[in-house]
């Protein structure tokens, strides 16, 4: 039962077998922290700890899914399913769904994302007739978020003269009124935003001792991943839940604390020993990811930070190639250098596009490398641009889905009450708002109360409002016994949104239709994906929750493309070959983050993260000149380049581009036809009685959703026969053969 312990080194084994009492695992980059977390949970279960009593908190759904899969392979699916495991927001949303009535919320409350929250703030600013130059919706929303994450409620705000004075100095003396109205409107609409999932959980645990006692007793063993990224509100919840049994295990790396702008507080990990004086400290210092030159070079950088925990990262990997420090004339030359270098490495070393990642400090820096890659026909994918779910046409349809799920959802109603256009203008909406506030009812319910003598709405408009209300109610009835795909298909057909965009006839409208089509494809993919899971839930509610909790950090790079992303986006990822662009003063470190030691140290940690994404090859690039607002300015190499030990670097002289060389190489590539090794595809058939298996262990298979992978294990169990497959991009998954669409590649 303990053969898994043999897979661990001595440093990893100690926190795994630690049973009772608080512990902190300081895990360096590439040191196997996920394995330690996973095996610690497995070990607890093997020590007869009930999985129902284990809580594991992560920052991404991807991390939670990966851990759960690994655990299920060791202790079985039934045991793994009983663990409370997920992101902070998803786990606390689950608790609040159960306990929400205590706080005055229904159990089917809506979760607003950042865009929804900002839209509500914007409406409030408009209603209060405030100066939009002083009261910018995004800034106000961010401030509300910051206050909530620091556990400062509306009541706390008005009782704190210092905070009020800060807003007065910023010419935002009415901020408190906006904050108060925002909270009231959310409550009336049965809505919680992302920050509320933490704030309301704190409120629940503080106000209701019986609820706190219930969950303290339930969660006897608590594990927290990426503890360096926790904020004050998360710290308070973790502390409260773990207070009775003190069996708290946190894993993190202070050197990778890079999210202070999101409220992350590095003091949580730096002061863990102070918070839990009896804690055991374990260190994972062996790096399994990177070459020795990369590890030592990164060490030489991070040692310049004063606020850090002591650790010495090392590796048994070979030295590898030295880190290249490239100097280019301009950002365009920098882009061409990186593109040509990728091109040459691909052909000389027979590498895939997915082996390469290009990292930068700001999204704007992607332009030069994108131009260069396009010119030599290298496919790439940019991460961190406008999210699919933030596009207007997608938000509109999601608003319909949210409204039929929760009729009290005010912002969703406002968004779609006149889209596609049905002759209901802002004046009418203002009258509905008046009825809503006067009678203290939801905006949707106000449509049923149009007989208020103080609010005059003409007959024609009343008919339009009633038609809209009846349409929404009919959608709600339709959705009751339908899955998410059936529901959205029905709604799109009935509101005729595709025809609306077709009639516009513009290129933008065509792109919107393509996006709508892709949304439908995505929901269908969601349904198909549920078929392969042991806990299948095809409901609209489940889909909406997945969308609401969706984050960029859960996206995975394309199998066929070079990855372009900011360093923040790259955290948690790894690539054989990495390029870091723009290593110049005022760019990296950012000019916005050099005003204090704390800021500079976070920038240095960010650079450390960038360096440690690389497995075999790392190039750090800077320019002599760079365009700023159309003007060419002189650039100074980043102070961080001066801090790394030259012993591990190879400082190149200026590399002149050779366009003719690139063109000739490209010509040769175009004349080279890559052979396809995919033969006639084999499949298996299923029936209610038995499943014909045409795959075997070690087969290389292709799955439409997860991509290419290798069959590791086959378990024959009639209708529940399954295969464990290690997918190149999606990790190891256990799929039901009854539903899995597998193709054998020979």
Please report, for residues 69, 81, 348, 434, 684, the alpha-carbon distance to residue 725 in angstroms, rounded to integers and kept in the order given: 11, 19, 31, 58, 16
Instruction: Reply yes or no on whether 746 is catalytic.
Output: no
- Active site residue: 58, 228, 256, 286, which one? 256
Q: What is the DSSP letter of 6?
A: G
Sheet containing strand 575-580, edge to edge, reads: 380-382, 562-566, 356-360, 575-580, 614-623, 323-328, 649-651
Q: Is 391 a catalytic residue?
A: no
Query: Catalytic annotation on 216?
Result: no
Residue 474 CB partners (closer than 8 Å, separation 6+): none
- Rounded-to-integer distance, Cα 641 and Cα 540, Å: 51
The two three-digit tokens of residue 92, written as one number? 């606390």
Residue 579 buriedness (CB in 10 A; 0-12 / 13-18 / 19+)? buried
CB atoms within 10 A of CB 259: 20
Tell me whether residue 346 is one of the annotated catalytic residues: no
In degrees and rounded to multiples of 5, residue 224 shows phi and psi of -125, 120
Contact criterion met (CB below 8 Å) for 411 and 546: no
**Buried/exposed code over 548-569 (b: 16+ C-beta within 10 A; e: otherwise):** bbeeebebebbeebbbbbbbbb
Token reading at 430: 């203002």
Which residue spans within 22-70 are E strands per DSSP? 23-27, 54-58
33 is catalytic: yes
Annotated active-site residue in 34, 303, 381, 471: 34
What is the Cα–Cα distance from 362 to 582, expressed in whole angstroms? Answer: 9
- CA-CA distance, 401 to 397, in Å (whole number)? 7
In angstroms, the CA 667 to CA 686 distance is 48
Helix (H) or strand (E) holding 513: helix 507-531
Residue pair 88/551 in contact by the 8 Å Cβ criterion: no
Kindly calculate the radius of gyration of the chain based on its CA atoms and give it in whole angstroms. 28
Task: From the candidates 66, 118, 225, 396, give the one annotated as an active-site residue.
Answer: 225
Q: Catalytic residue, from 613, 616, 639, 734: name it.
A: 613
Q: Is the bond into 569 cis (omega within 30 degrees of 0)?
A: no
CA 560 – CA 372 distance, rounded (Å) = 18
Active site residue 625: no
Catalytic member of 33, 35, 141, 395? 33
d(CA 51, CA 81): 8
Please tell me the distance from the alpha carbon of residue 15 to that of residue 31, in angstroms, as a whole number.
Answer: 13
Residue pair 294/29 in contact by the 8 Å Cβ criterion: no
Among the options 73, 118, 196, 226, which is catalytic?
226
The CA–CA distances, whole Å, from 628 to 161, 330, 579, 586, 635 equal 41, 11, 22, 12, 11
- Catalytic residue numbers, as ranges: 33-34, 225-226, 256, 613
């Amino acid at each position: 039962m303990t053969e898994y312990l043999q897979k661990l080194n001595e440093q990893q084994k100690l926190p795994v077998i630690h049973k009772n009492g608080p512990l902190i695992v300081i895990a360096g980059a590439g040191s196997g922290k996920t394995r330690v977390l996973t095996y610690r949970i497995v070990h607890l279960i093997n020590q007869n700890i009930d999985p129902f009593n284990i809580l594991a908190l992560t920052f991404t759904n991807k991390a939670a899914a990966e851990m759960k899969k690994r655990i299920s392979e060791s202790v079985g699916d039934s045991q793994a399913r009983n663990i409370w495991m997920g992101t902070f927001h998803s786990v606390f949303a689950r608790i609040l769904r159960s306990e929400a009535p205590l706080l005055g919320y229904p159990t089917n409350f809506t979760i607003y994302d950042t865009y929804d929250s900002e839209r509500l703030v914007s409406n409030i600013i408009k209603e209060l007739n405030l100066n939009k130059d002083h009261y910018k919706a995004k800034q106000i929303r961010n401030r509300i978020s910051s206050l909530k994450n620091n556990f400062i409620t509306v009541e706390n705000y008005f009782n704190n003269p210092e905070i009020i004075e800060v807003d007065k100095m910023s010419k935002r003396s009415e901020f408190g009124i906006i904050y108060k109205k925002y909270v009231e409107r959310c409550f009336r609409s049965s809505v919680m935003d992302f920050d509320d999932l933490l704030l309301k959980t704190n409120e629940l645990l503080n106000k209701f001792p019986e609820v706190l006692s219930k969950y303290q007793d339930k969660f006897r063993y608590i594990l927290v991943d990426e503890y360096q990224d926790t904020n004050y509100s998360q710290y308070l919840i973790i502390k409260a839940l773990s207070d009775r049994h003190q069996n708290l295990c946190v894993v993190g790396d202070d050197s990778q604390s890079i999210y202070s702008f999101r409220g992350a507080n590095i003091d949580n990990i730096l002061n863990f020993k102070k918070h839990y004086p009896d804690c055991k400290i374990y260190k994972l210092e062996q790096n399994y990811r990177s070459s020795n030159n990369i590890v030592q070079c990164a060490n030489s950088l991070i040692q310049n930070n004063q606020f850090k925990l002591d650790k010495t990262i090392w590796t048994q990997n070979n030295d590898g190639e030295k880190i290249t420090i490239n100097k280019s004339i301009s950002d365009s030359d920098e882009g061409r250098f990186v593109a040509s270098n990728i091109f040459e490495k691909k052909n000389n070393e027979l590498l895939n596009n997915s082996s390469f990642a290009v990292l930068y400090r700001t999204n704007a820096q992607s332009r030069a490398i994108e131009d260069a890659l396009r010119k030599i026909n290298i496919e790439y994918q940019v991460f961190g641009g406008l999210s699919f779910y933030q596009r207007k046409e997608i938000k509109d349809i999601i608003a319909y889905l949210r409204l039929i799920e929760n009729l009290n959802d005010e912002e969703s109603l406002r968004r779609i009450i006149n889209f596609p256009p049905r002759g209901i203008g802002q004046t009418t909406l203002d009258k509905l708002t008046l009825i809503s506030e006067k009678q203290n009812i939801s905006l949707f319910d106000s449509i049923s109360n149009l007989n208020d003598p103080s609010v005059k709405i003409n007959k024609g408009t009343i008919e339009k409002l009633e038609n809209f209300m009846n349409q929404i109610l009919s959608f709600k009835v339709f959705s009751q016994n339908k899955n998410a795909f059936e529901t959205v298909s029905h709604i799109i057909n009935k509101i005729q949104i595709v025809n609306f965009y077709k009639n516009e006839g513009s290129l933008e409208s065509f792109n919107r239709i393509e996006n709508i089509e892709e949304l439908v494809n995505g929901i269908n993919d969601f349904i198909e994906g549920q078929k392969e899971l042991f806990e299948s839930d095809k409901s609209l509610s489940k889909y909406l929750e997945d969308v609401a909790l969706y984050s960029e950090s859960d996206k995975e790079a394309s199998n066929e493309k070079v990855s372009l992303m900011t360093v923040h986006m790259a955290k948690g990822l790894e690539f054989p070959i990495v390029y870091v662009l723009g290593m110049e003063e005022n760019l990296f470190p950012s000019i916005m983050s050099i005003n204090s030691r704390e800021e500079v140290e976070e920038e240095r940690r960010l650079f450390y993260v960038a360096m440690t994404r690389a497995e075999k090859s790392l190039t750090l690039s800077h320019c002599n000149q760079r365009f700023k607002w159309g003007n060419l300015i002189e650039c100074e190499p980043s102070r961080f380049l001066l801090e790394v030990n030259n012993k591990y670097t190879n400082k190149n002289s200026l590399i002149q581009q050779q366009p003719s060389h690139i063109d000739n190489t490209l010509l040769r590539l175009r004349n080279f036809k890559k052979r396809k090794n995919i033969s006639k595809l084999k499949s298996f058939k299923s029936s209610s009685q038995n499943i014909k298996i045409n795959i075997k262990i070690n087969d290389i298979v292709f799955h439409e959703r997860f991509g290419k992978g290798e069959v590791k294990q086959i378990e024959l169990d009639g209708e529940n026969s399954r295969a464990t497959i290690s997918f190149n991009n999606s990790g190891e998954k256990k799929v039901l053969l009854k539903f899995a669409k597998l193709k054998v590649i020979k």
